[in-house]
Amino acid sequence: MEGRTIAAVITAAGASTRMGGLKKEYRPLGDGIYDSAGKPLSVLGSTVLAFAACSEIDLIVITVPNNSETGEAAARAVLPAFPAHIVKKPKILFIPGSNTRRASVHHALALLSAYHVDYVLIHDGARPWVQPALIQHIIHKVQEHRAVIPVMGLVETPKELDEQGFITRHLKRTRIVTAQTPQAFAFTDILAAHEKAAQIELETGREFTDDAEVWGQFIGPVYTIQGDMKNKKITFPEDLP
């Protein structure tokens, strides 16, 4: 995307409570997995390498906990050495997150507003198996549609329940998908949408679950592409090898 500035936001500001409080993004990806300098590759490190492998990515912003023990210094300590084949290394920035994922992303977008960004990809730091090919495909599609996310179809048949646990609706599996990241957007529009979402949250207490919802609420439709089964999110200890 010549002449365009493309940034990535990698979210790593959560407390990892479902991992027993151990920061999942800073944990080793697995035994025997190392970076090019021979250091154990972390979950966050693997994620960063996938984006750095895409020469279209100019900037990476990592959201980190607003905490002296797990903040920027801790995140820097687990970043990988870049292999020799990554010639164009993206600029890496850090920003303290907030108490919700949406607010943390908003902080990162506000930081990027000084860099004249055209498109931004927003990715969960706990999805370390994202492939550069998927990232590049999303970069290509966001030029056409201004908002695009990867999705996966369901294998099981979904049901909607009431508060007592009784089925209230039998949903059509073919019309239901699960969302993955990275989610890519035209930068000025997604920043404006987050500003509106922040105001709605302040006034009503509503919480937006992902950036596609923010875009859909305030901007318009979001295009979808086929996701990747390997692009899993680490939530529980057993999700790590």
The domain locations on the chain are 6-239
pLDDT grade, residue 16 (50/70/90)?
confident
User: What are the tens digits of pLDDT across the range 102-155?
Assistant: 999 999 999 999 999 999 999 999 999 999 999 999 999 999 999 999 999 999
Mean pLDDT of 28-54: 96
Which residue, among 80, 103, 84, 104, has the nearest Cα to 94 in the 3D structure?
Answer: 104
Q: The domain 6-239: what is its CATH number?
A: 3.90.550.10
Mean pLDDT of 156-184: 95
The total of other beta-carbon atoms located within 10 Å of residue 66's CB is 16
* pTM beyond 0.85: yes
Mean pLDDT of the chain, nearest integer = 95
Q: What is the reported pLDDT for 21?
A: 67
CA–CA distances in Å: residue 140 to residues 34, 165, 184, 199? 30, 43, 10, 32
Q: Which helix (H) or strand (E) holds 135?
A: helix 132-145
- What whole-number percentage of the chain has pLDDT above 90? 88
Beta strands in the chain (DSSP E): 6-11, 57-64, 91-96, 119-124, 147-153, 159-161, 167-170, 177-179, 183-186, 223-226
pLDDT grade, residue 208 (50/70/90)?
very high
Which residue, among 16, 21, 24, has the nearest Cα to 44 in the 3D structure?
Answer: 24
